[in-house]
Structure 1
Amino acid sequence: MIYHHNRFVFKETTTAEQRAQALASLRRQGESIDAVKQYIVGRDVGGEFAYGAVFVIEDLDGYWQYLTAPSHAHTDRIGLPLLETFVSYDTTDSDDPDIGEQIAALHARRFAADPALTQLVTDIPSYTGSSAPAPAGPGPQG
């Protein structure tokens, strides 16, 4: 199993309506993507982040389905521009020593196919984790 985590803080300029729409879109991902076995979207408690989401996915094929689903693309387009800080990472019980590189390759493939998405991510003031594209200079870290 792969647990894909997202932790984030909205920009101070984000309205309550925009925040609600972004969180609802994350929930729609969990409801609409067949590869997602379980999910949670809500407050991130006990740390520096305000909100978080975790999507439980069975395997790499399901991870790719999750990454390329239309509902995921919709969340990216409406949510990423609202974020001040974003961290994504994965936890897995896989014994495959190459699982991290395989997950990173799926993200790289997705970014290579979608320059607009890559720009949305690059524009986030602070973005780190498994899905961060390689920085072109100051900006996201991977």
Structure 2
Amino acid sequence: MIYHGNRFTIKPGIPQEQLEEALESLRNQGRSIPSVKHFVVGRDYGGEYEWGAMFAIEDLDGYWEYLIHPTHARTDRLGLPLVDKFMSYDITDDLDPEMDAKIAALHQRRYDSDAELTQLISDLGEYTGSAAPGPHGK
């Protein structure tokens, strides 16, 4: 099982309605992407982030389905422009010593095929985590 998580902080001054729409879009990912077995979206406590989401996905094929699903793309387009600081991470019980490289390769494949997404990620104030290309020049 792969647990894919996101932690993020919203830019100051973002209207509450926009935030709620983005959070609901995250929840919709959990409801609509077949490979997502369980999910949670909510407040992030105990750190420097305000919000978080966790998606349980069975394997790498399911992870790829999650990454390229239209509801995930919709969340990226709605939510990333609202975000200042973002972290993604993965926890897995799979003992494959190459799992980190395999997950990173999936993310890189997605970035390579989606220039708009790559630009949205690059425009973030800070992005660390699962194969994050990071903000260019920041």
**When the two structures are superposed, what TM-score results if normalisation uses the length of structure 2?**
0.97
- What is the DSSP-based 3-state SS (H/G/I as helix, E as strand, rest coil) of the residue aligned with 1:37? strand
> Measured at CA, do residues 27 and 126 of structure 1 come closer, stay the same or move farther in structure 2, by a change above 3 Å?
same
- Runs of 4+ off more than 6 Å: none
> How far, CA to CA, are the matches of 1:131 and 1:117 in structure 2?
14
Output the CA distance in 2 between the equivalents of 1:114 and 1:63: 17
RMSD: 1.0
Deviation at 1:47, TM superposition (A): 1.0
Matches for 1:31-110 after TM superposition, within 5 Å: 31-110=31-110
Corresponding pairs, count: 138
**2:57–2:63 contact (8 Å) kept in structure 1:** yes
Q: Is the 8 A contact 1:89 1:131 kept in 2?
A: no
Give the 3-state SS of the residue equivalent to 2:13 in structure 1.
Answer: coil
C-alpha separation between the residues in 1 aligned to 2:133 and 2:35? 23
Deviation at 1:133, TM superposition (A): 1.7
Aligned to 1:4: 4
**Identical-residue share of aligned pairs (%):** 57
Task: Give the Å deviation of 1:131.
Answer: 3.9
TM-score normalized with structure 1 length: 0.95
**Residues in 2 aligned to 1:129 and 1:71: alpha-carbon distance in whole angstroms:** 21
Do the aligned residues in 1 keep the contact of 2:122 with 2:134 (CA within 8 Å)?
no
Any residues of structure 2 matched to 1:12-27 within 5 Å, and which?
12-27=12-27
What 5-or-longer segments of structure 2 have no aligned partner?
none
Structure 1, unmatched stretches of 5+, are: none
Separation in 2 of the partners of 1:128 and 1:95? 23
Whole-angstrom distance in 1 between the partners of 2:134 and 2:16 = 32
SS at match of 2:37: strand
